[in-house]
Structure 1
């Protein structure tokens, strides 16, 4: 089975306060063998990169309108006339608000949607085949 990996390096901004943000190099990862999820890897000052995983559809929807609740919330906005998408992450270890450039995130998402169209994720996992075999018995 051939797996597609869609990656994108980009610079996010970690919002520390309304006046202050710092650049954070990050990588967006999408793998067709894990078709419902998107992965963000942050390269921070710490030894280990920080990994976050959440539903792809959350990011797809969050490019257009606010969505999500709980640990991950995503919403589009404008900063100095630029389209950005904000991602709020919260965990027991703390919270982070990240700003990503909307055109780059959208372009990457489009590539993931070409790799595995929405609604086709189940087929990628082989669930349909397994069910067909069960029902055929």
Structure 2
């Protein structure tokens, strides 16, 4: 039985001066912890740096800005070049990451196939929203 959905994704760290640094990122979703997504940022010096994010926050941030606390997400662009911005605010500073939205959306859609949205999120039709978004990319 499949209990996790994982994927390697090429994210980028945006510098305040406008530069971009590639950040290979391992996305990991476990059915045992259905509300959370783990992002493991691979740093050549420090090794994997884990972040835990709400799966619902990522899903809500794909069509429109979402999040008010430690992590904010928002989309830019359309089609295959669309990006999802992820702004985590750790205790020692902040980081601005971007991910290819179509690849992230497809991976997230796979997590909802493994474990459907909880009852409280059913009214939001997150599966339907992700399906419509992915259909628009083809």
> Structures share a fold, TM > 0.5?
yes
TM-score by length of 2: 0.80
> Residue 93 of structure 1 corresponds to which residue in structure 2?
92
The count of residues paired between Structure 1 and Structure 2 equals 119
What is the CA-CA distance between 1:45 and the residue it aligns to? 2.7
CA RMSD of aligned residues (A): 1.9
> What is the SS of the residue equivalent to 2:44?
coil
The answer on whether the counterparts of 1:83 and 1:102 sit within 8 Å (CA) in structure 2 is yes
Matched, 1:108 2:107: yes
Gaps of 5+ in 1: 122-137
Gaps of 5+ in 2: 121-138
> Residue 127 of structure 1 corresponds to which residue in structure 2?
none
**Correspondence 1:1-137 to 2 at 5 A:** 4-17=3-16, 19-78=18-77, 82-119=81-118
The answer on whether the counterparts of 1:3 and 1:31 sit within 8 Å (CA) in structure 2 is no
Cα distance between partner residues in 1 of 2:109 and 2:18: 32
Greater share of strand = 1
**Which deviations, in whole Å up to 9, do the C-alpha atoms of 1:83-117 show, x marking residues without a partner?**
00000011112210000001100000000000000
> What is the SS of the residue equivalent to 2:34?
coil
The answer on whether the counterparts of 1:73 and 1:88 sit within 8 Å (CA) in structure 2 is yes
Runs of 4+ displaced beyond 6 Å: none
TM-score by length of 1: 0.80
